[in-house]
Structure 1
Amino acid sequence: MVGQDSLSVPLQSHQDFLWTAQIQIGTPPLNYTVAVDTGSADMWLDASIFNTSASSTLDKTHQAFTIRYDMGEVSGYIASDHVSLQGRKVENQTFGIATNISDANIPQGVQGVMGMAGQRLSRLQATPFWQNLPLNRSIFSIYLKSMNQSGISAVPSDGILSLGTMNESMIAGPFNNLATVNPDTWSVPFSGINVSNHIVQVPFNTNAVIDSGTIMVGGPRNAIEEFYSQFDGASEIRGEPGFFSFQCASVPQVYLAFGNAQYKLKPADLILSEAQYAPDDRDGQPDSDDFKCVGSFFAMDAGTSWIVGGSFLKNVYTVFNNEMPRQIGFAPLNAKTFESEVLPVGLPSNARLLSPSHWILACFVAALYIFRS
């Protein structure tokens, strides 16, 4: 329930790839659209959008900053000003003004980032904005609506960010609470993947960063290659190392396992986009196996940890609890439309076909997630 010291913020989906909220900055306050990113800690605005002369309370420090992403980087200078979210104001909030954004693949209409991770991850050495808000509890929760799903009828937006609270009406079962493995990242133990009864095992003490700043799921190359070995016609895309395509017409059931439960992903959430039409017969007539799709799971050549983004988060309700003990909780969504499903660790039923309407699902073959070095 939302009270005086909690907020319920509508989110906007950008091509089912990134989810944003509206904030206000300056005096007088102006609106800006920022990505909600649990994988980073800093707030920054694109200098080409942010009007530095429009606010009488803006303080430019001219101290430089750089945030390196796995795909590009952002750099500029540090400033502070009044920042508000649904009328709740934080005075003199530190944020970055990005004068250079290189290869970060940020969708049009997204004007910056609002980081939701811990302060020690901050490249600006600043307290994250959400932690400066006057909230009754140091928690936030996220619901993301799939672009191809009608979603919860009572929720007209593309998602909800609840600050200081959670929306219990959206969940259909108990939370699976997992202690974070780091005091600043939203990282929890990861148990592996179930692909139509084939278990992709991960080493003991494997961790996954739960990252709303990307749509994709990334893991070590050997595990991702084993994952795609269960997809018909799967192969790595030439010129796009780490990304794989497969036949759109037949997609196996996929479950991600956390703790003592595993969660089913909708078939559409395994697809980033249609990659190509490649007929395999001479009559030129399109068959279901002629369509290749780009997968939302990708291979990272370095490290053993995983990044788990929106492809998973769209299938659960997630609470990020910054209180002690610090933890993340997953719960099934309270709507049949979502096909949200949680079950004890075990083997699910056989795979099912992906409907033709999903063959043309389009998203970016790029992701915004923080390079954690």
Structure 2
Amino acid sequence: MVYLIPLLSLVATVHAAATPRASTRASRDSVELLRRIPAAKSYDEVGAWARQNKLSVEAKYGMRTMNEKRSTGTNLLVNQGLDSSFYGSLAVGTPAVSYNVVLDTGSADMWLADSSSCGTSRCGGIPTFATSESSSVKDTKTPFSIVYGSGFASGRLVSDTVQMAGFSVSNQVFGLCNNVSQDLLSYPVSGLLGLAFQTIAASEATPFWEALVKDGTWDSPLMAFQLTRYANMTRGKSLEPGGSFTMGFVNSSLYTGDIDYNNIPSGQGTYWVQEMTSLTVQGNSISLPSGSQSYAAIDTGTTLIGGPPSAIASIYAQIEGSRVGTGDYEGYYLYPCKTIVDVTVAFGGRSWPISNADFQVDQASSTLCVGAFFAISGGGSAPAWIVGDTFLKNVYSVYRYNPPSVGFAQLSAYSLSLNGANDPIPTPTIGSVAATVSATSLVKGKNAAVSSHIRAESTLTVVISITTIALFLL
């Protein structure tokens, strides 16, 4: 029988040394299954499960032809701190151990905190990876370092088996970091999984997702996000269901109408870049230059939206009573909380509205609130705009490898019903692997891998990661 196990809450109980179900199965003839009353599912959700169930059985018994695509996978998200962050997990090593990681379309490297020297003062007691506990790990001894707007991480490169949502990549190269800047990781997050292109990988290794898509493992060469909103809930809890992340397919129950795809500009196969072609505030158009000066990175790993200072100033000039932030609020603007702000954004196709609940980040005083658009200084290879979850909570977003493009679609009534819903929280579990790619992630060079990947982050910017659905083949 094939079971698709939904993920249940696991926040304070994720430990690096936890024994996965997969290893337990090897030592016993039977495995105790924990069941719960399933939540009501839509026609498309049940259909997706049925299809995956059929494909898994066919794959297990060798019934599929060599010309067929391999599989799809879904990860459930956890919304932490009323939209402050979205965290989740993947599994690493032999035996497999789960780790919560940032899932980031704005970078391309995977890394985990090193158990050998990442002390509690710097890593906050989070679960860490121990090479001594995995029989499949290989140490390349190649230095690794990466810099973000909110901090840095450095150490060395290793390789091991990495699993996620029924997919596996053996010999996946990733950073094992023994030097992590303060506050870069927040418990229970142990590292990061980059979902941008290999061209910006500090390690020069093939990213996990790109290894799978290049091998033809996915049914379709794309991945997609649907994020929930709890920021406007007066009784929202610190942990809530966060939406979903799919690999190899789009979930038609989560959007309505067509997906509006726009190609990544020529020569920009680095970040998931789109040209911002229209921006309106309170019904008034904001003047935008054409071309690269309006390029935007679509970044699941950034909470807010950063842009050129002149454009940000023009946005708030349309909001009566707004003022420039100072001190800790430098780069931000404050405006009257009672004001309903109407913003739309377009990236070459249709315009997409941003909810006032997402524009209003937090209340700075009894009358003033912080706006979600803030000023960043461009430079290096970073695009002029960094578009994060403030926008992405309002659309179904799709990241397509071939042709390289980003697509947005209107959220379905079902997706919107998940905002503020009182549903159980998904948690990580480890299961059998349905599709495997072998030895596809290799370091190209021997020199120290260093990245100057500077992201538009601040003290208000937090991380996103994904929780895994696993397939248990019993």
Coarse TM-score class (shorter-chain normalised): 0.7 to 0.9
CA distance 1:296–1:239, shift in 2 (3 Å): same
The one-letter code sitting in structure 1 at the alignment partner of 2:251 is: N
Counterpart position of 1:12 = 78
**Cα distance per residue 1:91-112 (max 9 Å; x no partner):** 1111111222225644332211
Counterpart position of 1:268 = 357
Report the number of matched residues: 328
**Cα distance per residue 1:195-237 (max 9 Å; x no partner):** 1111112101121110000111111000001111222332222
Answering whether residue 255 of structure 2 is matched by residue 188 of structure 1, we say no
Counterpart position of 1:102 = 181
Structure 2 CA distance for aligned equivalents of residues 121 and 337 of structure 1: 33
Q: Deviation at 1:149?
A: 7.0
1:62/1:79 contact within 8 Å kept? yes
Which residues in structure 2 correspond to 1:226-265 (within 5 Å)? Answer: 226-240=314-328, 241-265=330-354
Q: Deviation at 1:262?
A: 0.9
The one-letter code sitting in structure 2 at the alignment partner of 1:157 is: P
CA distance 1:337–1:168, shift in 2 (3 Å): closer
1:220/1:300 contact within 8 Å kept? yes
Structure 2 CA distance for aligned equivalents of residues 292 and 107 of structure 1: 28
Q: Which has the higher strand share?
A: 1
Structure 2 CA distance for aligned equivalents of residues 330 and 317 of structure 1: 6
Counterpart position of 1:179 = 263
2:152/2:184 contact within 8 Å kept? no
Worse-matched range after superposition: 52-61 or 208-217: 52-61
CA distance 1:105–1:298, shift in 2 (3 Å): farther
Q: Deviation at 1:89?
A: 1.9
Q: Deviation at 1:116?
A: 0.5
SS at match of 2:390: helix
Which residues in structure 2 correspond to 1:328-367 (within 5 Å)? Answer: 328-335=406-413, 338=416, 365-367=460-462
Structure 2 CA distance for aligned equivalents of residues 144 and 271 of structure 1: 17
1:17/1:364 contact within 8 Å kept? no
CA distance 1:260–1:92, shift in 2 (3 Å): closer
Structure 1 CA distance for aligned equivalents of residues 135 and 153 of structure 2: 26
Q: 2:134 aligns with which of 49, 55, 67?
A: 55
Structure with bigger RCO (C-alpha 8 Å, 6+ apart): 2
Counterpart position of 2:420 = none
Counterpart position of 2:169 = 90
Structure 1 CA distance for aligned equivalents of residues 250 and 151 of structure 2: 34
CA distance 1:11–1:66, shift in 2 (3 Å): same
Q: Deviation at 1:136?
A: 2.4
The one-letter code sitting in structure 1 at the alignment partner of 2:219 is: N
Which structure 1 residue ranges, 5 or more long, are not aligned? 151-155, 278-290, 340-362
Structure 2 CA distance for aligned equivalents of residues 64 and 336 of structure 1: 46
The one-letter code sitting in structure 1 at the alignment partner of 2:318 is: Q
The one-letter code sitting in structure 2 at the alignment partner of 1:22 is: S
Worse-matched range after superposition: 309-318 or 199-208: 199-208
Q: Which has the higher helix share?
A: 2
- The structure with more radius of gyration: 2
**TM-score relative to the length of structure 2:** 0.65
Structure 2 CA distance for aligned equivalents of residues 228 and 368 of structure 1: 26
